[in-house]
Amino acid sequence: MARPEEMYQCQGPASCGYIYNPDRGDKKRKIPKGTAFADLPEDWTCPSCGMSKKNFKPLAGPGSVMEAQQQ
């Protein structure tokens, strides 16, 4: 089971809130289960809103969504 720091949430202007979970991968983009976010291709985009990989933040840990909410 993936830990929050292994999951990433879309934080683009559209704020769709999609969460990439490595336990699930991304069927739409043919990313297999078990693929870490860091191992996604650089041209990978959010399957919900199309934002680029750089618009994602980890759910926990340094630079995370949780850290930003606590400030």
pLDDT digits (tens, 9 = 90+) for 7-36: 999 987 767 889 999 999 999 999 999 999
Count of domains observed in the chain: 1
Rama region for 50: left / alpha / beta (φ>0; ψ in -120 to 50; rest): left
pLDDT of residue 63: 83
Burial (Cβ within 10 Å: 0-12, 13-18, ≥19) of residue 66:
middle
End-to-end, the C-alpha distance of the chain in Å comes to 28
Confidence of residue 67 (pLDDT cuts 50, 70, 90): confident
More confident residue, 68 or 19: 19
pLDDT of residue 2: 94
Residue 52 clears pLDDT 80, i.e. is over it: yes
Q: Note the Cα 9 to chain centre separation in Å.
A: 4
Residue 69 within a domain: no
**Cα 24 from Cα 30, distance rounded (Å):** 11
User: What does the DSSP 8-state code read for residue 68?
Assistant: H
In which domain, by residue range, is 46 found? 1-59
Residue 66 within a domain: no
CATH code: domain of residue 40: 2.20.28.10
Residue 53 clears pLDDT 90, i.e. is over it: yes
Residue 29 within a domain: yes
